[in-house]
A and B are shown apart, each in its own frame.
Chain A
Amino acid sequence: MRDIMAQGKVFFVAHKKRVFFYLGILVLLSVAVVVVGQDGFLYKIPVVRITEVENSCQKTVGTEQSYSQKITGVLVNGQWKGREIRLNHEYSSSQVYDEEYRKGDQVFVSKIVPGDILSGHISGLKRDQSFAMLLALFFCGVLFVTGKKGIFVALSLFFNVFIFLQVLVFYEKGIDFFFLSNILMVLFAVFSLLLVSGFNRKTGAAIVGTLCSIGLTMLLFFLTMKNTGGVDYGFMEYLSSHDDLPQIFMAQILFGGLGATMDVSITMSSTINELLYKDKGISARALLRSGREVGHDIMGTMINVMLFAYVSGEIPVMLLKMKNHISLVTIVSQHIPFEVYRFLLGGIGILIAIPVSLGVSLFFWKGVGGLRQK
């Protein structure tokens, strides 16, 4: 035990600056999360902090219980700030469409009826503190684990989010979404890769590799669409009133696989770079073999990333439908085709990226001759 403490002391003295830097970030982010919990005054909609909840089982609907809640709370903003309010709310035991509120929750309230005791209607839970907490936890983790590199990871993420929001503004003005997405994709690829791996030949090869692979994937996608009767946009989520659903769908496909394709390309070009760095005289054939080997190692888990990211989000709706006696086969083939398309095309993108970015990297370092030696 004393040994560990002594070691800790040595570490602390040696890395005083870093320890303080990290502690500073930790404190700053924790304060930020606490502050976000108290930011009711920023909202125009009335916010209520619940001080008391009385639950009673009201009735049985089918096989489920329906509960009613008598909620007492205090308004934290607006003209009635500090006054007490009484709210009624109902929820069912599985909470498919509704939710239970608890003491200490903050909720948004609409339709306030003035009177001796105010009353109103709950329109939703205030989730901004959880939002801030997750963000803070993520960035703390990134900075602690990767140090300076973490700043670039965070920067590239912020940049990507910002650019996408900008594009939505342009889209509002009536510019074709797919056209915008293509420009956006090039921007994304160039900036993300530059931020992640710096300005060098490796990054150049990765950018060209990414763009070529995406181009090929999209070409394959268009050919399939043309020759198989295309897509039924009736099941596209949320946006049935839009008249440019095909463009939006293509943009989704484009972006869904972009991250994974970039990942494969940068891995390929760093591998080639590393191999050449260790042994300048290495033959194109040996490079090709090693590159393929690495490609085989990464493809399986990358495809799994896509699978789980896409499937998991659909589970609640799928369960609701299965409970209503719709078979899983029907759901998968007819109700969530877009998830399936995205997964398949993401997977195809990853696979195509392996030989394409390998070829591009070889070309970048060995020139046309390197490619011929194949």
Chain B
Amino acid sequence: MIVALGVFFIALLIIIGGERGAVTLISLFCNLLVLWGSLQLLTLGVNPLGIAFLACFLINCSTLFYQNGKNAKTIASFGAVLLVSGTLFLLAVGLCGSANLQGIHEVIQQGDQLQGLSSDIQLSMTNIAVLVILIGLLGATMDTSIAISSAVYEVYRNNRGMTAQALFSSGMHIGGDILGTTVNTLYFAYLGEAMTLLIYYKDAGLSFSEIINAKSFFQDFAAMMFSGIGCVAMIPITAGIVSFVLTHPEKFKKYLEEDELFAEKSNLQ
């Protein structure tokens, strides 16, 4: 069944996406490779926080630069994702510490899935919880960021005379339009994931107050909220960075050589 679905997925990706589909597939594969490598390094006992940053960096490179090319859009998004991930990293460290978010929650422990496994693993589960949050929000923040930077880019392409301030406010406007659907995407993805857990609570007859204090619920909830907060923070930060890059291309000359918009400009001169 997995094989059949996998084949369908890849076939559709190629049929519908064409060349871009193949690129998506390769970058998806790279991301899986990064995740695989991170897991291997984690079992060797390398510090999870360091791995989280390394994985963020590599996944960003493969998704933004490989999938969408090296241009003003991706450079701005790259900067914005790193900035937001860094800030949320601090928040996540604080929260995982104060809400004891580490480890494997009580509902999994009660099942028979983990029977016979030794918990003697010499890993800091608190740091792993931070890594889980950072990796979880990566997809959503990259999505929001690239949507905003490419929309602002298109606006600039059609109105070359716009000031940074005007570009910024149009970025904020676009952000407001897409935030609703992004939040929905996250909500439903996590609802799908947490559905068995919610039915479990219903079976066990837990009350609302017991649920919000449960580690199992809080882990999923925190992952979803962090992704949401990441997307929200992404809007002003991406809009700010992309409008700065577009209006000050001379400062980013080194990185914009492949950008059609600015390559064009230098040809004209």
**Which A residues are within 8 Å of any B CB, using their own CB?**
42-43, 61-64, 92-101, 105, 108, 124-128, 130-131, 133-135, 137-138, 141-142, 145-147, 149-150, 152-153, 156-157, 160-161, 164, 168, 171-172, 188, 192, 195-197, 220, 224-225, 227-231, 235-240, 242, 248, 251-260, 262-263, 266-267, 270, 295-313, 315-324, 328, 333, 335, 337, 340-342, 344-348, 351-352, 354-355
Contact = CB atoms under 8 A, between A and B. Distances in A.
Contacts of A134: 95, 221-222, 225-226, 229
A316 B183 contact: no
A138 B232 CA distance: 8
A138 B179 CA distance: 12
Given A252-B192, A309-B193, 4 more contacts: A145-B232, A171-B199, A300-B20, A328-B39
B132 A313 contact: yes
Contacts of B6: 344
Contact of B1 (A224, A256, A347): A224
A305 B227 CA distance: 10
Given A100-B100, A145-B175, A323-B121, A156 B195 contact: no
A259 B39 contact: no
Given A97-B104, A305-B139, A172 B202 contact: yes
A337 B212 CA distance: 28
The majority secondary structure among interface residues of chain A is: helix
B75 interface: no
Interface of B: 1-2, 4-6, 8-9, 12-13, 16-18, 20-21, 23-24, 27-28, 31-32, 35-36, 39-40, 42-43, 63, 67-68, 95, 98-100, 102-104, 106-109, 111-114, 117-126, 128-129, 131-133, 135-140, 142-143, 146-147, 150, 172, 175-177, 179-193, 195-200, 202-203, 209, 212-215, 218-223, 225-229, 232-233, 235-236
Contact of A301 (B117, B143, B225, B228): B143
A312 B8 CA distance: 24
B121 A320 contact: yes
A308 B39 contact: no
A153 B186 CA distance: 12
B196 A64 contact: no
B214 A146 contact: no
Contacts of B190: 309
The 6 A-B pairs at the shortest CB distance, nearest first, are namely A256-B192, A259-B188, A312-B136, A308-B139, A141-B232, A259-B185
